[in-house]
């Protein structure tokens, strides 16, 4: 799987950078098309909120969601819960693409979100990238931005990798 050579410094930026580089080198085991990813959202909350995947890379996913009456809170701003749904969708799908679906499935253990900026209309775009890909857990970082690439929300999800 991963081989991390021993370091003389247990804590410090050198070891952290090395681990981060190893995780970022991990590639999806499955590489569906954007169209196939969007079929996953049929008859789910993703469809209700108008979400759609727009890009898939070697180890990242991008999806968009409208900011409109479906995703507003009572004051006309993007609902924080809608941002979390977008973040969890991105992290969950990305996690499943890292495993053999015949042997494993992934479920959320924890998610958090920091809401940075409000938005009333337009589109938000979420991108998820791996922080940690392990045998039993995965951690994904999600940034949600508006059309001007201003940060709206930062989220992190921890996924459990469970044997079938």
- The residues carrying an active-site annotation are 88
The SS3 assignment for 85 reads helix
Under a CB-based contact definition with an 8 Å cutoff, are residues 83 and 124 in contact? yes
CB count, 10 Å around CB of 94? 24
E strand intervals along 78-121 = 104-115
DSSP SS3 for 59: coil
- Gyration radius of the chain over CA positions: 17
């Amino acid at each position: 799987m991963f081989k991390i050579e021993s370091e003389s410094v247990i804590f410090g930026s050198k070891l952290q950078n090395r681990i981060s580089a190893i995780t970022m080198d991990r590639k999806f085991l499955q590489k569906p098309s954007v169209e196939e990813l969007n079929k996953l959202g049929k008859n789910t909350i993703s469809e209700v909120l108008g979400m759609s995947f727009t890009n898939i890379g070697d180890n990242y996913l991008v999806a968009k969601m409208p900011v409109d009456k479906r995703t507003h809170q009572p004051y006309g701003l993007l609902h924080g819960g809608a941002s979390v749904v977008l973040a969890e969708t991105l992290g969950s799908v990305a996690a499943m693409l890292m495993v053999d679906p015949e042997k494993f499935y992934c479920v959320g253990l924890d998610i958090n979100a920091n809401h940075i900026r409000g938005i009333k209309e337009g589109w938000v775009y979420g991108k998820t990238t791996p922080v940690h890909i392990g045998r039993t857990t995965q951690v994904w970082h999600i940034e949600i931005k508006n059309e001007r690439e201003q940060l709206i929300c930062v989220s992190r999800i921890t996924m459990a990798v469970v044997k079938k």
